[in-house]
Amino acid sequence: MSTSPDSKRARTEKSSKKVIGTHNGTFHCDEALAVFLLRLTDQYKGSSLIRTRDSAILDKCDVVVDVGAVYDVHTQRFDHHQRGFGEVFGHGFTTKLSSAGLIYKHFGEEIIASRLGFPPEDARIQILYLKLYSEFIEGIDAIDNGIEQYETALEPKYKIRTDLSSRVGWLNPPWNKSPESYSIDDLFLTASNLTGTEFLDRLDYYGKSWLPARDLVATALQSRASVHPSQRIAIFEVFAPWKEHLFDLETELKILDDSHPYYVLYPDEFGGTWRIQAVPVNPASFQSRLALPEDWRGVRDDDLSKKTGVPGCVFVHASGFIGGNKTREGALEMASIALKIQRPETT
């Protein structure tokens, strides 16, 4: 990476196979991540980087991001600042793309397959491609394009300045210090590595931990008739992140409201006991489809066992969204009784 003037930089860096171009000066999260993502692809692996606004130099680059006022996949130009630009990710997403979103849209599936060792036709790639956009890239696109998170701009009760875009912003030189006293190109590389490391960490989690849970949830949903005749109880034999998968799979498996589960049971990660959890009305909601009975809430141990008639009870939360029993059988009996009390037509 060169920190010399643009003309010298063009001469010294063009020696590599490919050259990525972006703008110089203050940098942002979107182009920092876009550069990192490009370097994960076969086409631009090992590429050097030029940061400039000189169009003559940018014209010689193999790919240009976040500068140049052109979006053209054929010529590998990926800017989003030009008048009339309105590209979105698709798949139901409507947020206008930044340079990060543009690069992810066109190279994300390749990056995911390469990182996780999946063959190109693997259906899991598309699941992760959409998940990473929703959970990681879209927020960067929205912040860079100045899109409000809420439709009504209410004054927040507190501020959050620890998001990735903000952390990249802090890496720029302070306004009251001379930029010449900093190696801004080196700071940009720090920012690019920061964004890229976080992207890869998130991809690894979704690909190696979150996604494998999908099969466990699918098995539990498909076998719930053997757990309880109402099909309102599902059992996970090991703890795994289940909420998003459950709602996605209910749609995919065409599980209707008249048979969707009210309760899921799973072993506690640490305590050796079992949990009974009420399924929420949606993955982000605190409201349950069918909370545990009012009379059980906030009661613990022997007092709870007396109320329920089930040995080994541990607790029921005051809101009724979760409870516990020392055994799998006890948790299942609690769930069955909760159904009988509140939905007798299902028993």
pLDDT of 14: 44
- Alpha carbon distances (Å) from 121 to 104, 110, 117, 124: 18, 11, 12, 9
Residue 328 neighbours by CB distance under 10 Å? 15
pLDDT at res. 198 = 98
Burial 1-35 (b: 16+ CB within 10 A, else e): ebeeebeebbeebeeeebbbbbbbeebbbbbbbbb
In the sheet where 19-22 sits, what is the strand order? 48-51, 19-22, 63-65, 77-78, 71-72
pLDDT for the residue numbered 13 = 41
pLDDT by residue, tens only, the chain of 347 residues: 444 444 444 433 444 489 999 999 999 999 999 999 999 999 999 999 999 999 999 999 999 999 999 999 999 999 999 999 999 999 999 999 999 999 999 999 999 999 999 999 999 999 999 999 999 999 999 999 999 888 776 677 777 788 999 999 999 999 888 878 789 999 999 999 999 999 999 999 999 999 999 999 999 999 999 999 999 999 999 999 999 999 999 999 999 888 999 999 999 988 789 999 999 999 888 899 999 999 999 999 999 999 999 999 999 999 999 999 999 999 999 999 999 999 988 77
Asked whether the beta carbons of 324 and 276 are under 8 A apart, the reply is: yes
Q: Where are the domains positioned within the chain?
A: 6-146+159-167+181-210, 214-346
H helical segments located in 86-183: 99-116, 123-132, 138-144, 164-170
Q: pTM value?
A: 0.82
pLDDT at 120 (0 to 100): 94
Please return the burial class of 335, using the count of CB atoms within 10 Å of its CB with bins 0-12, 13-18 and 19+: buried
Strands 93-96 and 77-78: unpaired
Question: For position 334, what pLDDT does the model report?
Answer: 98
- Structure-block tokens of residue 217: 């949830």
Contact between 317 and 300 (Cβ < 8 Å): no
